[in-house]
Structure 1
Amino acid sequence: MANNPIAGIFRIRDLRNRVLFTLGILVIHRIGSVVPIPGIDMGELSKYLASSGTDGRGIVDYLDFFSGGAFSNFSLFMLGVMPYITTSIIMQVSMLVFPALKRIAEEEGGRKKIQRYTRYATVFVCLLQGVALLRLPLNYNVVVSGIADWQFMIIGMLTTTAGTIFLMWLGEQINVKGVGNGISLLIFTGIVARMPNAFMVMIREIRAQNLNPVFVILTIVMFVIVVILVVYEQQGLRKIPVNYAGRIVGRKQYRAQGSYIPFKINPSGVIPVIFASSILTIPIQLSTSFAFGNSEFWGKVVTALNTNGPIYLTLYTLLIIFFAYFYTQVSLNPMEISKQIRENGGSIPGIRSENMELYLTRILNRIVLPGSLFLSMIALIPSLLIIAIPGFPQQMAYIMGGTSLLIMVGVDLDTMSQIEGHLKMHHHDGLTKGGKLRSRNL
């Protein structure tokens, strides 16, 4: 009888402990998402949420979805781990743009220094976001009476910053003692936690005859197809063959061998979507938090950047394509790759050594263009659903595509790969048929 892979996870003591430890950390994360920061009047907050409904709160709905409901609760984890992710991405790009940072990273212990700088910068980003976003509970009148605005702002900034730093620590604990990427799993859990409520809202809309069930069924079928395409895209590789000549190092002789350079269809992952959405939501956050929308200029900006409007969707698509090209070029530098191949005595079959950089650049450009267009298509799905099907719940639309879908698929594949590695190490079958998660060869 074939072994059950799920049962195999709990038969291996080390893997069982890692899985249970990870689940325990995720439970702590969910508990912290419902504990409000000091100064929030829970009675007034409940009244506000009941009166505003589940949709139509603009930027609050967007931020709330990716924090797993922590934002609308104004909880300890209302900022989530997004400040850390944004800071990490900026730091990675800065290392590639500024040679001084790159030299620090290449020194002995340099990676730890960069991580320390990233943590310090995350604290600064959290405080800045706290100044902007903590204006919302004041505007919504859900703060306990008797507390001065400046007192609430200071307490809230310190509390939410501490909450994000604590989430960073929890993510690191998962990396060391658990299974999967800790930070990614925290975001994944927040998104999945919103799914039951999103389905309930959609069912209520169908019962109220605000949604056509046929359209809903077609949308779900489309969602399954999109997930399959995203999995294919995430695992797709373009393998560039590289041959290494035999050589003698000291008294050891190394035989000639063949290898390959794996280029993913979308090397930048979900980073272009995060960057593009962050840039476009900054004016909306400022206007919502500081009531700049009362001025004529900010009113026009907010109207133009309506998430379902043509200007926003056009800018969103162009920024995704731009960041896909930019991040790929700085993270996969053809010049450095060519230099490493030459230094190790390698060559690409059919390509002269002096043309290697040009060849790799041409391959990357051919890969990134369709990859970025596919990424843009996935990112636009939520807005297109809301436009095409009036009354379609925003929470359900966020699940059907965009950053959430890319994160869920990517984190799921990564976690499955790690669990499968543990199972194979203990001579068990993998989670998939044949015991191997295969990458697609293009």
Structure 2
Amino acid sequence: MFDALQNIFKIPELKKRVLFSLGMLAVYRVGCHIPTPGIDRLALAHFFKQAQGTLLGMFDMFSGGALERLTVFALGIMPYISSSIIFQLLTVVVPAIEKLSKEGESGRKKIIQYTRYGTIVLSFVQGLGIAIGLESMRGPAGELVVPNPGWSFRLMTVITLTAGTAFIMWLGEQMTEKGIGNGISLIIFAGIVVRIPTALSNTVRLLNAGQLSLFVLIFVLALMFVVIAAIVFVERGQRRLPIHYAKRVVGLKTFNAQTSHLPLKVNMAGVIPPIFASSIIMFPATVANFINVPWVQKAAKSLTPGNLVYDLFFVAFIVFFCYFYTAVTFNPVDVAENVKKHGGYIPGIRPGKETSDFMDSVLTRLTFAGAIYISLVCVLPSILIGKFNLPFYFGGTALLIAVGVGMDTVAQIESHLITRNYEGFLKGVKIRGRK
């Protein structure tokens, strides 16, 4: 590991990229502590303690605690992610956007520009909703979270939060272009891992107080290692469909017979299903914070993490969105047609419809396995917190994102090292897809 780090700083370009990314992440973390004016911090902190397990708590996790403190980066990068997902879905539904996606680099740039506009619109709407919601919140003694409510406060909050999200979006794009790794993913990664020191200190405090036994702590640490290893194992897992290309002549050029493969990941949908599932199932609990009706409060309580009803609905939504998002992003008919157009075929399968049906059947089985894997990881926090009274949130969407981003970033660093005749980031290990 130390040799790999030394190799990084031996390459001026790679060193510059790594330091640039670290610098941009430092700027992001500084912005997460610049407060939005007009807020009573103590009353707001009390409200967020009551909002744990709701949609607000999940958004606060992705923003690295910026939403709980209502800083200028309170909205985080979630509006950009939501806008990106919306345009991915519109690519299938709207023919004009689908046509843009097939126009190569120019079409991709236009879709990115539309995504930016969508981010600003979503940030404005979410900022206005937060500003109006804050005016109705009260602290432990009944004091208002917003001492001076009104349209002046709303406009100031909306402009501040929208500008903060736009700046984070710019930071992420600069990191992707001039740094190492995907900038947007690294910003989410930073917001998640920044809570690790607090979790460790809480664990030590409970251990010293006798509320957490040493045996349970050792068991949990071993379980953490196993779960992370399992995530790495599955995320790199692929089903490689062999593709044979016959010898063909195009003009004056002759292309010899070739053999390739089509990689199908076990988890084709990534972390989108748990994000969608969490957003939908936590929405009632979030609304209940603003509605003081007994039956609404009771129904919302059953849909918070740690309850059996929540876990059942959560798993059901994850399975549904795994199949839905995979169907949106991967079209077996189009892939089979492209393979046929280039003279390729899967051995033993006729080109055309039979090939698309075969791909669809393979993808269906892979998606089922991926959905079960995501469901197990995502319900793990409820089990650990409920059974072992852990003081930290281990597992779920946050762990999937953290491990996935870490693997992708290490893979990019490794590719830079290998292209310059250095060993990979980890000696004797290649970060690549597993058959």
Classify the TM-score, shorter chain: over 0.9
Alpha-carbon deviation of 1:295? 2.6
Matched residues in 1 for 2:217 and 2:203: separation? 9
**Where in structure 2 are the equivalents of 1:269-280 lying within 5 Å?**
269-280=270-281
Partner amino acid, structure 2, of 1:98:
V
| 1:192-250 alpha-carbon deviations (Å, 9 max, x no partner) | 11110011112212222222332222111111100000000111111000000111112
Kindly indicate whether residue 95 of structure 2 is the aligned counterpart of residue 99 of structure 1. Answer: yes
Give the drift of 1:53.
9.6
Q: Indicate yes or no: 2:28 matched with 1:39.
A: no
Residue 254 of structure 1 deviates from its aligned partner by: 0.7
Say which SS state the counterpart of residue 38 (structure 1) adopts: coil
What letter corresponds to residue 269 of structure 1 in structure 2? Answer: G
Identify which of 97, 116, 120 aligns with 2:117: 120
**1:409 aligned to which of 396, 403, 408:** 403
Instruction: Give the deviation of 1:440 after TM superposition.
Output: 1.3
User: In the alignment, is the contact (CA less than 8 A) between 1:132 and 1:285 conserved in 2?
Assistant: no
Do structure 1's residue 234 and structure 2's residue 235 form an aligned pair? yes
8 Å CA contact 2:235–2:404 kept in 1: the answer is yes
**2:238–2:266: 8 Å Cα contact kept in structure 1?**
yes
Structure 1 residues 20 and 237: alpha-carbon distance in aligned structure 2, compared to 1, 3 A threshold:
same
Answer yes or no: is 1:323 the counterpart of 2:285.
no
Would the alpha carbon gap of residues 3 and 215 (structure 1) be closer, same or farther in structure 2, given more than 3 Å must change? closer
Spell out the pairing of 1:283-362 with structure 2 (5 A cutoff).
283-288=284-289, 291-292=290-291, 294-296=292-294, 298-353=296-351, 354-362=353-361
Residues in 1 aligned to 2:213 and 2:128: alpha-carbon distance in whole angstroms: 42
**Distance change (3 Å), C-alpha of 1:48 and 1:247:** closer
Q: 1:131 aligns with which of 128, 133, 136?
A: 128
* Aligned Cα root-mean-square deviation (Å): 2.1
What 5-or-longer segments of structure 2 have no aligned partner? none
Write the distance in 2 (CA, Å) between the matches of 1:197 and 1:370.
34
Q: Do 1:3 and 1:429's aligned partners in 2 also have CA atoms closer than 8 Å?
A: no
Aligned-pair CA distance for 1:143? 4.8
In 1: Cα distance, 2:377 partner to 2:29 partner: 28
Is residue 2:160 matched to residue 1:159?
yes
* 1:422 match: 416
2:26 is matched with 27
Structure 2 length-normalised TM? 0.93
Contact 1:230 1:409 in 2 (8 A): yes
Q: Does 2:59 correspond to 1:63?
A: yes
Q: Secondary structure at the match of 1:4?
A: helix
Distance, in Å, in 2 between the alignment partners of 1:168 and 1:336 is 32
* Pair 14,230 (structure 1): closer, same or farther in 2 beyond 3 Å: same
Q: How many Å separate the matches in 1 of 2:57 and 2:217? A: 21
Q: Residues 281, 255 of structure 1: CA spacing in aligned structure 2 closer, same or farther, 3 A cutoff?
A: same
Partner in structure 2 of residue 76 of structure 1: 72
Matches within 5 A, 1:153-192: 153-192=154-193
> 2:343 and 2:171 mapped to 1: Cα distance?
43
Q: Distance in 2 between matches of 1:58 and 1:369?
A: 27
- 2:365 corresponds in structure 1 to 366
Rounded to whole Å, the distance in 1 between the matches of 2:427 and 2:335 is 35
The 1:433–1:287 alpha-carbon spacing in structure 2 relative to 1, beyond 3 Å, is: same
Matches within 5 A, 1:1-16: 4-16=3-15
Q: Percent identical across equivalent pairs?
A: 39
Seen in structure 2, the aligned counterparts of structure 1 residues 164 and 275 have a Cα distance that, compared at 3 Å, is same
Q: Is residue 332–residue 360 contact of structure 2 (8 Å, CA) maintained in 1? A: yes
Q: Name the aligned partner's letter for residue 318 of structure 2.
A: I
CA distance in 2, matches of 1:126, 1:264: 33
Residue 192 and residue 94 in structure 1: after superposition, are their counterparts in 2 closer, same or farther (change >3 A)?
A: same
Secondary structure of residue in 2 paired with 1:80: coil
Residues 300-345 of structure 1: CA deviation (Å, up to 9, x unaligned): 4312312221221111101111111111122111111110111000
Distance, in Å, in 2 between the alignment partners of 1:206 and 1:269 is 35
1:296 positional shift: 4.3
Amino acid at match of 1:344: H
Aligned length: 427
User: Equivalents in 1 of 2:130, 2:68: separation in Å?
Assistant: 11
Structure 1 residues 129-185: Cα deviation after superposition (integer angstroms, max 9, x where no partner): 22333355441456564x333322221111111111110100000011000000000
CA–CA separation in structure 1 for the residues paired with 2:309 and 2:43: 35
TM-score (norm 1): 0.91
Letter in 2 for 1:125: L
Counterpart residue type for residue 413 of structure 2: I
Unaligned runs of 5+ in 1: none
Structure 1 Cα separation of the partners of residues 236 and 50 of structure 2? 34
Kindly indicate whether the alpha-carbon contact (under 8 Å) linking 1:234 and 1:410 is maintained by their aligned counterparts in 2. yes
Structure 1 counterpart of 2:83, which letter?
T
Answer whether contact 1:133 1:285 (CA < 8 A) is retained.
no
**1:234 alignment partner AA:** E
Task: Flag the 1:149–1:382 CA change in 2: closer, same or farther, 3 A.
Answer: farther
Per-residue deviation, 1:54: 7.0
